Amino acid sequence: MDGLSGVAASVAVALAVGLAAYGDGTRRVTRAALTRDTAPLFQTDSLAYTLRAESDGYIGEIRVRFTNRTGGTVYFVNCRGQTEVNLEKLVDDRWRVVWGPGIPMCLSPPITVPAGGTYDSRIGVIAGYPGSNLQPQFSVPDVAGVYRAVWHQALSSYQDHLPFGEPLALEHRVSNRFRLEVQPR
């Protein structure tokens, strides 16, 4: 994937480490294989990722492609290419928001994806360890598990003031399921 060129420099440097391929891991996680659900408009490039445990926290990257099958133009509110996305973890058969990146407070022109078009993006996951002063952090003690990504400002119309436009239905703003593992320190 070509990716998005407007990612903030500080995040790009931190993300240079990237993600390792899914390994055998040592965390307690159900190992049932995930099958790709092709219905979501957002599709990750893998069904499993490993976050690297660094000195201050976790770091990784999830590549995602949005394919606009809505029949109309889709707009992403963003700040220099960064969009509002959260990671939700499947906990007790319910999706729970457990992580979201820090987004600068600016308003860039919308990322516009025409009907039938695609938009490649990267979710840079940087998360401090619980109890550290590095933010953001995962809100669950066991990070490993089944996840999906959810975009909050994916719109079917756009204006440059609040409200920015009509949000797409939730089923058009979520990714396929994927697994996150954590490389032991």
Residue whose token pair is 């159900």: 30
Average pLDDT taken over every residue of the chain: 86
pTM for the structure as a whole? 0.82
**How far apart are alpha carbons 121 and 147 in whole angstroms?**
17
Domain at 9-182: CATH code: 2.60.40
% of the chain with per-residue pLDDT over 90: 79
State which amino acid sits at residue 151.
W
Q: Which of 22-36, 68-82, 170-184 has the lowest mean pLDDT?
A: 22-36
Torsion (CA) 105, 95, 20, 83 in degrees, nearest 10? -20
Q: What is the pLDDT of residues 129-177, one digit of tens each?
A: 998 999 999 999 999 999 999 999 999 999 999 999 999 999 999 999 9
pLDDT at 127: 97
CA distances from 36 to 33, 49, 109, 118, 150 (A): 10, 14, 33, 19, 17
Q: Domain ranges in the chain?
A: 9-182
